[in-house]
Amino acid sequence: MIATIEVTGDDARPATDLGFLLHKHPDRVQTFATTQGTATVFYSEATAQRCRVVLHVDGAGVRPDKSSGVSPYVNALADEASSRFVVALGKVFGDTIAGRAVTRPDLVSHVWEVTITIAAVPLRSASSPADLFGPIGWDVGVARQPLSPVPWGDSAHGTITLRGRSTLRDALRQLAVLLPVLADDKHYFVDDDEVDKLDRLGDGWLGDHPRRGEIVRGYLKRIRPLTERAALRFGDAADPGAAAADDDRSRPYREPLARQRRNAVTELVLRSGARSVLDVGCGEGKLLAGLVSDGFAGRLAGVDVSVTELNRASARLARLREVAVWQSSLMYTDPRCRGFDAVVLMEVIEHIDTDRLAVAEYSVFDAMAPRTVVVTTPNREHNIVFGLADGELRHRDHRFEFTRDEFAGWAAGVAERYRYAVELGGVGDDDPKVGPPTQTAVFTRIDKEDKP
Q: What is the pTM of this model?
A: 0.53
Please state, in angstroms and rounded to a whole number, the distance separating the CA atoms of residues 247 and 300: 41
Please state, in angstroms and rounded to a whole number, the distance separating the CA atoms of residues 412 and 430: 22
Element (H, E) at 239: none
* Long-range CB contact pairs, 297-303, < 8 A, 24+: 298/274, 298/341, 299/275, 299/340, 300/276, 300/324, 301/276, 301/277, 301/325, 301/326, 301/340, 302/278, 303/278, 303/279, 303/327, 303/328, 303/334, 303/337
* Angle at which helices 192-201 and 224-234 cross, to 10°: 40
Query: Cis peptide leading into 14, omega within 30 of 0?
Result: no
Closest CA to 13 of 110, 114, 96: 110
Residue 249 CB coordination number (10 Å): 11
Domain ranges of the chain: 2-187, 189-254, 257-450
Please state, in angstroms and rounded to a whole number, the distance separating the CA atoms of residues 24 and 324: 38
Which CATH topology does 2-187 take?
c-terminal autoproteolytic domain of nucleoporin nup98 (3.30.1610)
pLDDT in tens, the chain (452 residues): 788 999 998 878 899 999 998 888 888 898 888 777 788 999 999 999 999 999 988 865 554 444 444 444 444 555 677 777 888 888 888 888 888 888 888 888 889 999 999 988 888 888 888 999 999 999 999 888 776 666 666 677 888 999 999 999 999 999 999 988 888 877 666 777 788 888 888 888 888 888 888 898 888 888 877 887 777 766 554 343 333 333 333 333 346 788 889 999 999 999 999 999 999 999 989 999 889 878 888 999 999 999 888 988 888 888 778 899 999 999 999 999 999 999 999 999 999 999 999 999 999 999 999 999 999 999 999 989 888 888 888 888 899 999 999 999 999 999 999 999 999 999 998 999 999 999 999 999 997 655 54
Q: Do residues 191 and 223 make contact, with C-beta atoms less than 8 angstroms apart?
A: no
* 433 CB-contact burial (10 Å; exposed 0-12 / middle 13-18 / buried 19+): exposed
Please state, in angstroms and rounded to a whole number, the distance separating the CA atoms of residues 312 and 200: 9
Does the domain at residues 257-450 carry the CATH identifier 3.40.50.150? yes
